[in-house]
Structure 1
Amino acid sequence: MLGMNLWGTIYNMIYMFGWPQASGYEAVQFCQQHPEAAWDIFFYCLCGAVGQNFIFLTISRFGSLTNTTITTTRKFVSIVVSSLLSGNPLSPIQWGSVVMVFSGLSYQIYLKWQKLQRLQKKRKTT
């Protein structure tokens, strides 16, 4: 993970500052003129780093399926809540997609629960 982030940083620095007309210089100038934007960028990056640690811990402790389920559920809830709070209703096709996502998540949870029940039953018999 460290290596991936390091190489990503190197590539981004080259892309942003590798030649005289690169966009990184404008970004630095903008942040100097608007320090509140620099703080927003800093906190955005900090949240990303903390989130990346949670993803790493979730995958290492519970596996990638659990991480995928958590991520999909978070995005699913975010879309529905955003739609309800903003007053932008979902179209029938979008509601159909919401139902499909919810059904898929429910089915994954059900299969995991069944597997857990089988393992517990197997432990009781041995």
Structure 2
Amino acid sequence: MFLFRYPKTSAWDIMLGMNLWGTVYNLIYMFCWPQGIGYEAIRFCKQHPEAAWDIFLYCLCGAVGQNFIFLTISRFGSLANTTITTTRKFVSIVVSSLLSGNPLSSKQWGCVVMVFSGLSYQIYLKWRKLQRMQRKRKPM
């Protein structure tokens, strides 16, 4: 009965809704708010079309990235997405630190260890749960 009243919402429906509402709120804030700078931003982009092109490419990359996030969550779950995102951020920080010559402090390394310990433990618990479920399915 509820399936007919509330059909399953796809990832793209959710993204469309989120992005439309985000656009409405941002437009109101940029053009209707007393301190809004929407008109200045448009004027700047008219004077510097290369900036407008960079903004467009940035938005396009964000949209593609958002698709990958939603697809990862729908196919592999939120834990896998969290692990991928955290690992990507960690690698980005380490590479940035190595390239810029700014080493991480002991406190920062401690935080890295805590985050990855927690994620590793969650992965281990999920793996153990899957192992138990597979044992229950197999007849002896």
What SS class does the counterpart of residue 104 from structure 2 fall into? coil
Please identify runs of 4+ aligned residues in structure 1 that moved more than 6 A.
none
Distance 2:110 2:64 in 1: 33
Distance 1:104 1:20 in 2: 45
Give the structure 2 partner of residue 91 of structure 1.
105
Give 1:50 deviation, angstroms: 0.9
Work out whether residues 73 and 105 of structure 1, in 8 Å CA contact, stay in contact via their aligned partners in 2. Answer: no
Give the structure 2 partner of residue 17 of structure 1.
31
1:43 to 57, 68, 71: 57
Q: TM-score, normalised by structure 1?
A: 0.87
1:115 is aligned to 2:123 = no
Task: Give unmatched runs, 5+ long, in structure 2.
Answer: 1-13
Give the structure 1 partner of residue 66 of structure 2.
52
Work out whether residues 76 and 101 of structure 1, in 8 Å CA contact, stay in contact via their aligned partners in 2. Answer: no
Distance 1:105 1:14 in 2: 39
1:82 to 91, 96, 110: 96
Give the structure 1 partner of residue 41 of structure 2.
27
Q: TM-score, normalised by structure 2?
A: 0.79
Give 1:65 deviation, angstroms: 2.2
**Stretch moving more, 23-32 or 11-20:** 11-20
Distance 2:68 2:117 in 1: 26
Give 1:100 deviation, angstroms: 1.1
More helix by share: 1
Give 1:20 deviation, angstroms: 7.6
CA distance 1:110–1:28, shift in 2 (3 Å): same
Distance 2:45 2:65 in 1: 24
Distance 1:90 1:65 in 2: 26
If asked which structure has higher relative contact order (CA below 8 Å, sep 6+), I would say 2
1:3 to 5, 11, 17: 17
% identical aligned pairs: 85
Q: Which whole-Å deviations, capped at 9, do the CAs of 1:41-91 have from their partners, x for residues lacking one?
A: 111101111111111112222222222222222222221221122211111
Equivalent residues, number: 126
Distance 1:85 1:101 in 2: 23
What SS class does the counterpart of residue 125 from structure 1 fall into? coil
